[in-house]
Structure 1
Amino acid sequence: MAGFLDNFRWPECECIDWGERRNAVASIVSGILFFTGWWIIIDAAVCYPDQKELNHAFHTCGVFSTLAFFMINAVSNAHIHGDTYGEGCLGRTGARLWLFIGFMVMFGSLIAAIWILFGAYVVPGNPVYPGLSVFFQNVLIFFSTLIYKFGRTEELWG
């Protein structure tokens, strides 16, 4: 599954060679999504500074999503497949376990953001923008993680 974007074909354009720029494009798109997610929650925190409007504990979802971003992208695809020269601390099993825990934290943060949106804002009838900002922050960090992990290739030297 690590290379599911390997067969993705960019639209043919003779002016740009996308094959050589795949890592750069994936990194830039991922960075823009990550930045936008944090920008949205910072905007909501500035617009709703009161604890009753935007509970400060709701920022925890974004912090854990960011932590999961680093956990997921700390493991290379070669470690997961067992193609590395050194075994490391726990080898391939440890790398897979670390990746699994990272995805569990990411999905847990996303589910918590959905719960915050509906449980604290939609159902009680409060202003919805703070809940949407928490949700969109976590969704954008989630897609940023997926693009950065699976959108790049690890072949550094041809």
Structure 2
Amino acid sequence: MAGFLDNFHWPEYECIDWGERRNAVASVVTGILFFTAVVYRRPEQLNHAFHTCGVFPTLAFFIIKMLYPMLRTGAWVWLFIGFVSMFGVLIASMWILFGAYVTQPL
């Protein structure tokens, strides 16, 4: 994902230098797209179990990103815990979302 916008050329303006702000602009655009995807018109439509699909992957990403201060053996165990939790969250999110949308009667 690091080279996602390498071949995309921003409009050339003399007053704005897009080259160094590429990642910031991509982060803002993805944040806006995520915000528009999760907005509900009625709060009662949102099942509270859906929050787990976002909270636990964030915690697992923090677990994986905190590798650098650990020793070698501890880092392998910590990385394993992070990836197992990511896989568990993936399975749990499929279970929650299929249970909410697929198994509902028409």
TM-score by length of 2: 0.61
User: Counterpart of 1:47?
Assistant: 41
Structure 2: gaps (5+ residues): 8-20
**Residue of structure 1 aligned with 2:84, choices 104, 113, 121:** 104
Distance 1:120 1:47 in 2: 18
Kindly tell me the number of residue pairs found equivalent between the two proteins: 92
- Written as runs of structure 1 = structure 2, the 5 A alignment for 1:120-139 is 120-125=100-105
Q: Is the 8 A contact 2:52 2:93 kept in 1?
A: no
**Alignment partner of 1:47: what SS?**
coil
CA RMSD of superposed structures (Å) = 3.7
Q: Letter of the aligned partner of 1:110 in structure 2?
A: L
Conserved? CA contact 1:65–1:106, under 8 Å: yes
Corresponding residue for 1:74? 66
Q: Which residue of 64, 80, 92 maps to 2:72?
A: 92
Question: Displacement, 1:39?
Answer: 2.4
Q: Which has the higher contact order (CA 8 A, sep 6+)?
A: 1
Pair 33,62 (structure 1): closer, same or farther in 2 beyond 3 Å? farther
Following TM superposition, by how much is the alpha carbon of 1:32 offset from its aligned partner in structure 2, in angstroms?
5.9
**2:44 matched to 1:64?**
no
Compute the TM-score of the two structures, normalised by the length of structure 1: 0.43
% identical equivalent positions: 47
Compute the displacement of 1:96 (Å).
Answer: 1.0
Partner amino acid, structure 2, of 1:63? V
Task: Report the residue type matching 2:55 in the other structure.
Answer: V
Q: CA deviation at 1:40?
A: 5.4
Q: Deviations over 1:10-30 (max 9, x none)?
A: 9x98xxxxxxxxxx97x6598
Partner Cα distance (1:65, 1:102) in 2: 9
* 4+ residue segments displaced more than 2 Å: 27-42
Structure with max Cα Rg: 2
